[in-house]
Amino acid sequence: MDHVDIIPMQLSHLDGVLNLGYRAYDVDAMPYTSWSLSTVAVHWDAQPEACWVAVDDEGLLGFVLGSLSYDEREDWGYLEWIALDERARGKGVASVLVQRCCDALFAAGASRIITDVESSNQASAAMMRRNGFAEGVTVTLFVRPDPDKSAPAATHPPRDPARARLRRAARATSTR
């Protein structure tokens, strides 16, 4: 990995961010099912100063997308999406992205910043703790499947063919 720059997200990063998200998240499972082009665009449109990317000479290494507000609270920031390409993990890049996003959200008026971490995502939990986040309320999704349908759980909703195509394309794409 070459020298890494952490820079504000631009329109030209949209495609790379979307594809990196498709590679990093299991968008068939909670809490990643809402990952989409509109999710990225809405964040960048609403709070561009809280959206940052990490790049090196080879291309996009990671991103963070934040926003005001969380759960109707105008004074709560939401650090909702962060992901790094495999080659950038474990090197402190995530912490710099978190810091830039949090700085922007505090500057925009947030009195606190919320992030949610899926319970088995130990890498994300450890990284968030190291960056000043502490566990608040724990919410567990209880799932009741329709007994008349064979699909086992809402954590794996029916596949959207368009998204499946995008995900396959993203996996086949190297970083830009």
Ligand X SMILES: CC(C)(COP(=O)(O)OP(=O)(O)OC[C@H]1O[C@@H](n2cnc3c(N)ncnc32)[C@H](O)[C@@H]1OP(=O)(O)O)[C@@H](O)C(=O)NCCC(=O)NCCS
Residues in contact with ligand X by CB under 6 A are 24, 81-84, 89-90, 92-95, 121-124, 126-127, 130
Q: Where are the alpha helices (DSSP H) in 55-92?
A: none
Q: Which is nearer to ligand X, 135 or 146 (CB)?
A: 135
Write phi, then psi, for 58 (nearest 5 degrees).
Answer: -85, -15
Q: How far is CA 16 from each of CA 26, 28, 32, 45, 129, rounded to the nearest angstrom? A: 17, 20, 17, 17, 27
End-to-end CA distance of the chain: 14
To ligand X, the closest distance from the beta carbon of 126 in angstroms equals 4
Q: Which residues contact 89 (CB under 8 A, 6 or more apart)?
A: 123
Question: Toward ligand X, which CB reaches closer, 64 or 104?
Answer: 64
For ligand X, the closer of residues 105 and 127 by Cβ is 127
The nearer residue to ligand X, 73 or 89, going by C-beta atoms, is 89
Of 121 and 151, CB closest to ligand X: 121
User: Shortest Cβ distance from residue 121 to ligand X (Å)?
Assistant: 5
85 class by beta-carbon count within 10 Å (0-12 exposed, 13-18 middle, 19+ buried): buried
In the complex, the smallest distance separating the C-beta of residue 35 from ligand X, rounded to whole angstroms, is 9
Question: In the beta sheet, which residues pair with residue 68?
Answer: 77
Closest distance between ligand X and the C-beta of residue 144, in Å?
25
Enumerate the β-bridge partners of residue 112: 76
Least distance from ligand X to the Cβ atom of residue 119, Å: 12
What's the rounded Cα separation, in Å, for the pair 144 and 149? 11
